[in-house]
Each structure stands twice: as C-alpha cells, then as structure tokens.
Amino acid sequence: MKWLVTGGAGFIGGNFIYRILDMYPRDGVACVDKLTYAGNMQTLERAKNDPRFSFYKEDVADARAMASVIGRERPDAVVNFAAESHVDRSIADPSVFVRTNVLGVQSLLEACRKHGVARFHQVSTDEVYGEIPRGVEGMAFSERSKLNPSSPYAASKASADLLALAWHKTYGMHVTVSRSSNNYGPYQFPEKLIPLAIVRAVKGQPIPVYGDGANVRDWLYVSDHCAAVDLIVRRGRAGEVYNVCGGEERTNLETVGAVAALVGRGEIEFVADRPGHDFRYAADSAKLREELGFSPAVAFGEGIRRTVGWYLSHRDWWENILSGKYRKFRR
C-alpha cells in the first residue's frame, strides 16, 4: 500500500509514518510538510534513509503543488495530519489556521479527486464539539453531537471536517474522519502542556498552568491514536466519523503533577486564563470500539512514564528546538 502523509514532520504525523514503516514492510510513505515552526526534520531522522520513504517540502494549501505530488506518487491513501494546532496561536492570528486547516484540506481533496485516490482520511479533534461546562458530570460527545467550536483553531478543524464529508456526499470519494482527544508522547513540540511541563521541570523553571488548573482533558497516547487512524483508513466506512479517545481524563493540575513526580521536581505557576478556555472535553469512542474493535493499549500512567523517559533521553531533540538549531535541518 502506498501512503501520502501530510504534516509528517510534526508530532502525530511523524509517529504515524514510523508505525507504517515499522509494521508494514511492503508499504511506502510519501511525506508532505511545509516545515513551519513545528515541523522538524530531526523527527524523521530514522526514516530519511529508508528507500520506501520520500519527502516533499510543500504547502498543503498550494493546490498546484498538491496536485503535482499526488499525481507523481499515486498513493492509495492520503492521511491529512497537516494543521496549525496550537489554540493560543489561533487566538493571536486566525488567518494562518484558516489557510492551512481549511484551504489546505480543500486543495488536498481536489487533488485526490482529480487523481482518483482511493481513500482520504481527515485527522481532527474532539475540540470541534466545544466544551462541557464546569459542574456538568457524566457527559460525553458522540459523533452525532452538534459541532460547537470555541476557538479559531477548533472552528477551522470543524470546517475541514465538513468539507471532507461534503466531498464524500457530493463526489462519492471514500472519506473518513477521526476526532481524537488530547495526544501526548514522543516528538511533541514543547509548547504543548505535557512536553512544556517536562522541559521546564528538567530545567528547574516554573511550569505555567492556566487559571486554577481545574480544566479537564482526556489523554490519548500517540501510538494508540496512530493505530486507530491506521485501522480506520483500512476498515472504516466511507463518509463516517470516528471519535478516538483515551478514556483518561485528568485536570491540567493532575497532569502537570504527574510529570513533576516523574522528573523529581516541578514548581507550578498559576497564570491568567486564556480567552475562551474550554473547561472540559470528553467524547465517546464506543462506535470505534464496536465497529472496528479498537481500544487504547496504553494507560495514562504507563504513557506518561514513557513520555517523560523519552524526553529525558532525547534532550538534544528538544534543546535544538529551544535554541532554534533545528531549523538548519530544514530543506
């Protein structure tokens, strides 16, 4: 099987590429990544010399470039991980998110339609459903729940989901969508909560926590997310959405506390809450479990231990990011 993975020099995309190369000796992977600030060729260091792997430094929002790459590679499946994904950055500059997350999906869909790509998978987020307010217990969103995004980031992802599903309904393309909860694990850019907490604890710096730290997120280890996407692409029903959840809800304070305990230190600094900060996300992945037999394999305790261990043993990876040296690896 030939795959084209967009956003493959990023966190989840890079982990997905390694899953395919490690598990399927006959599969090939072409990676497309613009190498914006969160794209890191060091993440793909182990893949670069694999003859089954190829790399294109291109922008998914460049329709001509996407048509050219897809026409050249002729993939059986396109999996779109390419996205601007940091909520704080979307509040500061929404336009970049609309370009990559919405227009980029349109250009990919059109290129896939033009070249007859068999399967297109859109990787999305549970943030499209909006928040579950403080004090509401036992509630979780299903794939049929209405979309109610709060941030520009979440709104751009909801828009992309609807575009992808419209290409299925209008043009008959085999499109699937997955909406995952918060991911963590190796290669995550150190602006997100868990790697930021690890890095700052290691360096003896305060770990910033928004508000009172009571906001709740469901945590999904990245290898479980990649396994679910792999399964959905191969066996998921066309035109369907699948929630992918870890079933591991923690407050932000609990999450940071788990990191600090494993590192052996970590002073918490409460900072002013960000605008529109959703209190809780929770989605139900019963559909994925019942239709495709998927359940996460890595519990939070084990996953956070692996994650902290990886960052401690790959200090050069994140030090190069902090110093800016990682940019020299860009082609």
Q: Tell me the domain boundaries of the chain.
A: 2-185+220-246+280-301
> What is the predicted pLDDT for the residue at 330?
54
Q: Is pLDDT of 326 > 90? A: no
List phi, psi (to 5°) of 189: -60, 135
Instruction: Reply yes or no on whether 319 is catalytic.
Output: no
Q: Is pLDDT of 324 > 70? A: yes
C-alpha–C-alpha distance, residues 221 and 295, integer Å: 12
- Average pLDDT of the chain, as a whole number: 95
Q: What are the C-alpha distances in Å from 277 to residues 133, 152, 211, 257, 322?
A: 11, 12, 9, 20, 26
Q: Which of 33, 58, 84, 127 is catalytic?
A: 127
Place 329 in a pLDDT band, splitting at 50, 70 and 90.
low
Place 315 in a pLDDT band, splitting at 50, 70 and 90.
very high
C-alpha–C-alpha distance, residues 124 and 120, integer Å: 13
> What is the predicted pLDDT for the residue at 54?
98
Contact 46, 314 (CB under 8 A): no
Question: Concatenated DSSP letters for 125-173?
Answer: EGGGG-PPPTT--S--B-TTSPP---SHHHHHHHHHHHHHHHHHHHH--
C-alpha–C-alpha distance, residues 303 and 22, integer Å: 20
Q: What is the pLDDT of residues 35-57, one digit of tens each?
A: 998 899 999 999 999 999 999 99
Q: Is pLDDT of 331 > 90? A: no
Contact 239, 175 (CB under 8 A): yes
Place 141 in a pLDDT band, splitting at 50, 70 and 90.
very high
Mean pLDDT, residues 204-225: 97
> What is the predicted pLDDT for the residue at 15?
98
Fold of 2-185+220-246+280-301: Rossmann fold (3.40.50)
> What is the predicted pLDDT for the residue at 100?
93
Instruction: Reply yes or no on whether 143 is catalytic.
Output: no
Instruction: Reply yes or no on whether 153 is catalytic.
Output: yes
Q: Please report, rounded to a whole number, the percentage of residues in the chain having pLDDT higher than 90.
A: 90
Q: Which of 18, 153, 184, 281 is catalytic?
A: 153
> What is the predicted pLDDT for the residue at 89?
87
Q: Which amino acid is at 255?
A: T
